[in-house]
Structure 1
Amino acid sequence: MTQHPTPDERRPANRGPKAAAGNRAALVAAAREIYAEHGLDAPLSGIARRAGVGQGVLYRHFPDRDAIAAAVLEENVRQVERAAAAEGATLAGVLGVVTWHLAQSAAFIGLLHADGTSGRFHAHACARDLSDRVERALRRCLPDGHRLGAPDTPDDLMLAVAMVSGAVTGPTQEERERRALAAWRLLGITVGPVRPYEG
């Protein structure tokens, strides 16, 4: 008996070279969804399928796993940077944006644990750069004398973020957000409204 592929398994029609920009945008959007659900090690075939393109199209735009992960995570980091650069930015407000991304995306959590020792994307220099940019954005908002900015404990800021990200578990975004806020509270750190930065 011949098995026919399900709609999710059918190879999409080639939309041609004129569709390149749309294909790239669809791939980034699909990767954002897949990475949010499954983290940076999610299969690339699932990203191509969700975007409605073949894997060849994916590889034309993104030559490897790191390239597409970097494209997706770049926007997360830009939001944190824009929040920190906004007039009147506070540490609590920027931590609200960071917390939203933590609750939204397993990939963002992986980025903040980038140490070059494990995982496919973590070994890429881009991960370290993106993580460093998050740290610089947060440091811009640290009030003078804040305990997370003490010169004798320079790693405390990102260690606190990593500790909170480790608590971000649960089947729904609401549960993950609740756990993140509880972790910040246990660390004695105030967090503003948990939301994406839209400025």
Structure 2
Amino acid sequence: MTASRRANPGPKAAAENRAALIRAARTVFAENGFDAPFSLIARAAGVGQGVLYRHFPTRETMAIAVFEENIVEIEVLAADPATTVGDVLALIVDQLTASAAFLAMIYPSNTEDEQLLGAAWRLLGLIAQMLDDPGKRGDIRADVTATDIVIAVAMLAALLAKTDLKSRQATSRQAWSILERGLRT
């Protein structure tokens, strides 16, 4: 009698493995912090550590992949003509609340990584472009700039990075409410 073996899908599984690793990293880092063992991420993704390291040789490369996915999600929302800056900010705040391990990476001065800087500058440019459109600006004050918004988001990120998981949602809601009052008319 021969034992049944699972077939190795090889390179065909690369994209699926990468996506599973990003999902797992988002969850594991949010629950256990940025220093969580890579083995925990690999296990949560259902892959071996070799697969993890093939896709993401460092924590930073993994964090950048998650950050990049967040930016793409924001860009998709912003492309909808009915979307306002307030809608985009709500999504960003939700992402920050869920992805606490990546909070320090939201503001480009924290790193010299070109990929992360590129994503951060895309976010800044997207917000600036939306602010230039009166229909998308919504009730954001006329004197508020994209840099002002990114600084407010970075302030929230810094607070949430120091907030325990149980309190994060309530703290995020309260802190963003305070910051948002300064941005709106």
TMscore range, shorter length: 0.7 to 0.9
Q: Runs of 5+ in structure 2 lacking a partner?
A: 1-5, 132-136
Instruction: Describe how 1:176-195 pairs up with structure 2 within 5 A.
Output: 176-187=168-179, 188-189=181-182
Match of 1:127 in 2: 116
Asked whether 1:103 is paired with 2:92, we answer no
Match of 1:194 in 2: none
Q: Deviations over 1:27-58 (max 9, x none)?
A: 22211212333444433222112222221121
Runs of 4+ in structure 1 off by over 6 angstroms are none
- Matched residues, number: 168
Match of 1:32 in 2: 26
Asked whether 1:54 is paired with 2:54, we answer no
Match of 2:3 in 1: none
In 2, Cα distance between equivalents of 1:80 and 1:180: 19
**What is the deviation of 1:189?**
4.6
Q: Runs of 5+ in structure 1 lacking a partner?
A: 1-12, 117-121, 192-199
Match of 1:162 in 2: 154
Q: Aligned pair in 2 of structure 1 residues 133, 41: CA closer, same or farther (>3 Å)? A: farther
Among residues 119, 143, 146, which one is paired with 2:142 in the alignment? 146
Report percent identity of matched pairs: 39
SS of 2:82's partner is: coil
**What is the deviation of 1:80?**
1.4
**One-letter code of the match for 1:140?**
Q
> TM-score, normalised on structure 1?
0.70
In 1, Cα distance between equivalents of 2:60 and 2:7: 24
> TM-score, normalised on structure 2?
0.74
